[in-house]
Amino acid sequence: MFEHANLVPGSRDATVEVHRPTPLGPMPSAPVVPVQPGTIPAVTTIVLPDGRVVTGYSLEPAKPEPVAAKPPVSRAAVNIALGGIGFGAVCGGLFLLTAFITALTALITQLITLAAVIFGGWVAVQVFSATGHSGNTFNIRKAVFKRNHFHG
């Protein structure tokens, strides 16, 4: 009736080996060793509001060890630390200033180059599109600027 109960899924003739856990017997417990307090606490009796009496030992809460006072930091150490922070800030500021000046110089150089290229292109257009000239030659010594116009 249950022929396929012992087969692994996906195979037809492999059998499955079933492992069942074996329960362990009772474990021997470690003996409890009573710990005696350093001093015997006093027995305290308390009467509750309903008249019942409760008797027992009163235990004081554990007090933490007092924290040792930290030695004061010397004034010289504070001044050295603040001086180091100030020196680092000044060095960082000088680095940023140097980087800004370098970037500004590069920008100005690029703007000058751009203006030279634009002006050179404008001169080239004026030279090569001049009317009344024969050929493509141009004598720059005879070129004249009159009323913001280039006459070649």
- d(CA 83, CA 97) in angstroms, rounded, equals 21
pLDDT at 86: 93
Query: What number of CA atoms fall less than 13 Å from residue 12's CA on the CB side?
Result: 0
The average pLDDT across 122-150 equals: 65
Judged by DSSP in three states, 55 sits in strand
pTM higher than 0.75: no
Amino acid at 116: A
CB 146 within 8 A of CB 126: no
User: Which pLDDT tens digit goes with each residue over 91-114?
Assistant: 999 999 999 999 999 999 999 999
CA 45 to chain centre: 61
Q: Give residue 62's pLDDT.
A: 78
Lowest mean pLDDT among 45-54, 62-71, 95-104: 62-71
